Each structure stands twice: as structure tokens, then as C-alpha cells.
């Protein structure tokens, strides 16, 4: 079983051929898909896609890029949407100081609201972090000390120190097409040396970050086997072992998601 843990299927780049994309995904062996919410005003579209298939799930959250447009967001807003039976996680949320589309303090305030929603609901968090290692590490440790919560550091490209903090706190990681990029040896080193074998999942983050040999083109869930094979090679696993370990990690982190019959 292959599980696509992070996709943006409601993106406009899939508007013209979504049925064909989903058909290719199924033919590639993808059995479960998580559609990620990055803004409150796209939640209806995210859920609409999840409701079409019993093995498609959803999240609720505000990406750090959009934090400045959601300054009035409350914890209750997130919790209300999280009650939907298809919502299995809080996020995508986090910190992104690379693009800095939203001021840092506004990003931090937004992130803290998501952490509180995760603690209250018991749902895990989907965390985005880029060029914010110090603040992310400090916030994760401080908030975890107050009350434990579960999380995944998705599409992980940050440094070794933050990865070790995440692993020490019991965090999960998801690997995507970046692991195949020629200039991403530091990402591969973290996968090999730091990511716990039983806490790694697969994702495409489509339509972004297509793996080699599709780099630069639109990404889609059908490319997930390429990422599985790369992860297996890096970890010294067989393809079957990679599928089994990443599947078990998914259902451990996201207990609200039901296994396919």
C-alpha cells in the first residue's frame, strides 16, 4: 500500500484533468491520499474532494505564507472545522522565513494557534518549516514541555539540529521528490542518519516538487513510487519494506484515518 500523505489536489493546476490524475494515482498503487488545506477559504474545496472517496482525507489549517491574511483566526475556528469526520490533522501550518510572505511574528502567532488546536483536539499537526530552524526548534520544545502533541515535519529540508529536536520529541517526517534532486545531499543525509525508520512517510506535495526525472513539471500522486524507491535505496530497504514501514507510520500518526477495506 502506498499512501500519499501530502497533496494539493484542489490546486488550479489539476482543474482540467483531475479524474485522469486520480486514475493514474490509483494505477500506480496509491491507496490513500491526504488533501492539504492551506487557507480557511479553501477548506470547502478540500473537503469536497475528500468526500468523493472513502480513502481520501483532509486537513484544516493556514500555511505561514497566508498568516497575514488570517490574523483574526481563532483556535475555535480550527476546532470547529476539525470536527468534520474527514479531517485527520491540523495544518498545514508552521514558519517560512525564506519567502517571508507574512511577517515573522504574525507567522509565530498563527503557528501557536494551530498548536493549541492540536493539543485540544488530539489531532496531529502537519508542519511546514523553512529557514526558521531556531524559532521552530524553540517553539516545538517549549510547547511540547507544556503539553505533548503529535506532528509531522513535512517535506523536510531543514538542518540536522532541528531534525534531531523533532525526532527527540517523537515527531514524524515525510519524504518527497526533493530527496531525488542532485543538489539535495544534505536532505538525503538527514534521511539516512536522523529520521527514525518507524516515523517516515511518503508525500509528493503535488503539484510542486516533482521527483527526477519529472523535475520542473507538474507533480502528481502517480509519482509516489519514485519517491518510495529513493527512500528504500537511502535506507537500505526493499520497496516492500518501504511501503510497509511508511504505511504503518501513517496510521500511527493519523489514527482518525481508517485503513482501506
Q: Name the grid cell of 202.
A: 511518503
The pLDDT of residue 34 is 98
Rg (the chain; Cα; Å): 17
Please list the residues that pair with 193 across neighbouring strands: none
Q: What CA–CA distance (Å, rounded) separates 92 from 63? A: 5
pLDDT for 199: 98
Cβ partners under 8 Å of residue 52, min gap 6: none
Assess contact for 87 and 58: CB atoms under 8 A. yes
pLDDT for residue 173? 98
Tens-level pLDDT at each residue, the chain (261 residues): 999 999 999 999 999 999 999 999 999 999 999 999 999 999 999 999 999 999 999 999 999 999 999 999 999 999 999 999 999 999 999 999 999 899 999 999 999 999 999 999 999 999 999 999 999 999 999 999 999 999 999 999 999 999 999 999 999 999 999 999 999 999 999 999 999 999 999 999 999 999 999 999 999 999 999 999 999 999 999 999 999 999 999 999 999 999 998
- pLDDT of res. 261: 81
In angstroms, the Cα distances linking 19 to 14, 16, 25, 33, 42 are: 9, 9, 10, 14, 20
pTM for the predicted model, two decimal places = 0.97
For the chain, which domains are there?
Answer: 2-253 (3.20.20.140)
Amino acid at each position: 500500500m502506498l499512501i500519499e500523505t501530502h497533496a494539493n489536489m484542489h490546486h488550479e493546476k489539476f482543474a482540467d484533468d483531475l479524474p485522469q490524475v486520480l486514475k493514474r494515482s490509483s494505477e500506480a498503487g496509491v491507496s490513500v491520499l491526504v488533501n492539504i488545506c492551506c487557507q480557511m477559504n479553501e477548506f470547502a474545496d478540500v473537503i469536497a474532494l475528500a468526500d468523493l472517496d472513502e480513502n481520501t482525507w483532509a486537513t484544516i489549517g493556514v500555511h505561514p505564507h497566508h498568516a497575514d491574511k488570517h490574523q483574526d483566526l481563532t483556535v475555535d475556528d480550527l476546532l470547529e472545522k476539525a470536527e468534520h469526520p474527514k479531517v485527520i490533522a491540523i495544518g498545514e501550518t508552521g514558519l517560512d522565513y525564506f519567502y517571508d510572505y507574512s511577517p515573522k511574528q504574525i507567522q509565530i502567532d498563527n503557528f501557536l494557534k494551530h498548536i493549541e488546536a492540536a493539543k485540544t483536539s488530539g489531532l496531529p499537526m502537519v508542519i511546514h518549516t523553512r529557514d526558521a530552524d531556531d524559532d521552530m526548534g524553540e517553539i516545538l520544545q517549549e510547547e511540547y514541555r507544556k503539553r505533548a502533541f503529535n506532528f509531522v515535519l513535512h517535506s523536510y529540508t531543514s538542518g540536522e539540529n532541528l531534525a534531531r529536536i523533532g525526532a527527540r520529541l517523537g515527531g514524524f517526517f515525510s519524504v518527497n521528490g526533493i530527496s531525488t534532486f542532485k543538489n539535495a545531499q544534505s536532505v538525503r543525509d538527514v534521511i539516512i542518519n536522523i529520521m527514525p525508520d518507524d516515523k517516515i512517510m511518503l508525500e509528493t506535495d503535488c503539484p510542486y516538487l516533482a521527483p527526477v526525472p519529472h523535475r520542473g513539471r507538474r507533480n502528481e500522486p502517480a509519482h509516489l513510487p519514485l519517491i518510495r524507491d529513493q527512500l528504500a535505496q537511502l535506507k537500505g530497504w526493499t520497496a516492500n519494506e518501504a511501503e510497509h514501514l511508511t504505511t504503518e507510520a501513517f496510521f500511527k500518526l493519523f489514527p482518525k484515518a481508517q485503513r482501506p477495506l
